[in-house]
Structure 1
Amino acid sequence: MNGRTTTMRTNLIRTTAVAATALIAALSLTACQSDAGARDEGTALSTSAPATQKPTTDPTAAPTSDPARSASPAGDKPAGNGKGNSGDSTGTAGSDGGSGGGSEDPGPVMTACGADVKVTYSTVRRPINHALLTMTNTGSEPCNAYHAPLLRFDDAQAATAVDQDSRPQAVVTIAPGESAYASIMLAAADGSGNDGRTAARLAVSFAPRSGSGSTDAAPAVISLPADTYTDTTTTVSHWQSSMDDALMY
Structure 2
Amino acid sequence: MAYATTTRRTTAVLAALSLGILALTACDGDTGQDTAAPSATASPSAGSDGEGGSARPSASAPGDGGEDSSDGGAATASPSQAGADDDQDGGVGMCETTDLSYTVTVASKPVNHALLTAANSGTDPCLLPANDLVITFPGLDGAAEHMGPTGEDWLLNPGEKAYAGILSSRADTAGGKSAAQAEIALSAAESPSTVTITGGPVTVNDTAVTSFFGTAEDALTY
TM-score where L is the length of structure 1: 0.55
Rate the CA distance shift 1:51–1:238 in 2: closer, same or farther, 3 A: farther
1:202 aligns with 2:182: yes
Q: How far does the alpha carbon of each residue in 1:197-249 deviate from its partner, in whole angstroms, 9 at most, with x for none?
A: 44322222331xxxxx3324x513213424633332x2011233443443343
**Which residue number corresponds to residue 54 of structure 2?**
none
- 1:157 pairs, out of 141, 158, 182, with 141
Rate the CA distance shift 1:142–1:153 in 2: closer, same or farther, 3 A: same
- The 2-side partners of 1:222 and 1:42 are apart by 123
1:14-93 maps to which residues of 2 (within 5 A)?
Answer: 18=1, 21-40=3-22, 42=24, 49-53=32-36
**Which residue number corresponds to residue 164 of structure 2?**
182
- The 1-side partners of 2:85 and 2:99 are apart by 30
**Which residue number corresponds to residue 140 of structure 1?**
123
Shift of 1:184: 1.0
- The 1-side partners of 2:212 and 2:107 are apart by 17
- The 2-side partners of 1:160 and 1:21 are apart by 148
Shift of 1:45: 6.3
Rate the CA distance shift 1:244–1:29 in 2: closer, same or farther, 3 A: farther
The structure with the largest alpha-carbon Rg is 1
Q: How far does the alpha carbon of each residue in 1:119-160 deviate from its partner, in whole angstroms, 9 at most, with x for none?
A: 012333454543211111212222333334322234212122
Task: Describe the SS at the equivalent of 2:124.
Answer: coil
Specify the code of the residue in structure 2 equivalent to 1:120.
T
Asked if structure 1 preserves the Cα contact closer than 8 Å seen for 2:144 and 2:209, the reply is yes
Asked if structure 1 preserves the Cα contact closer than 8 Å seen for 2:115 and 2:163, the reply is yes
Rate the CA distance shift 1:179–1:51 in 2: closer, same or farther, 3 A: farther
Count of paired positions: 176
Q: How far does the alpha carbon of each residue in 1:40-85 deviate from its partner, in whole angstroms, 9 at most, with x for none?
A: 5555666785434479xxxxxxxxxxxxxxx989xxxxxxxxxxxx
- The 1-side partners of 2:174 and 2:19 are apart by 137
Shift of 1:178: 1.5
Specify the code of the residue in structure 1 equivalent to 2:220.
L
1:167-246 maps to which residues of 2 (within 5 A)?
Answer: 167-169=150-152, 171-188=153-170, 191-207=171-187, 213-216=188-191, 219-226=193-200, 228-232=202-206, 234-246=207-219
- The 2-side partners of 1:172 and 1:178 are apart by 11
Asked if structure 1 preserves the Cα contact closer than 8 Å seen for 2:151 and 2:211, the reply is yes
1:92-103 maps to which residues of 2 (within 5 A)?
Answer: none
Rate the CA distance shift 1:175–1:194 in 2: closer, same or farther, 3 A: same
**Bigger CA drift: 43-52 or 237-246?**
43-52
- The 2-side partners of 1:145 and 1:31 are apart by 120
- The 1-side partners of 2:197 and 2:167 are apart by 17
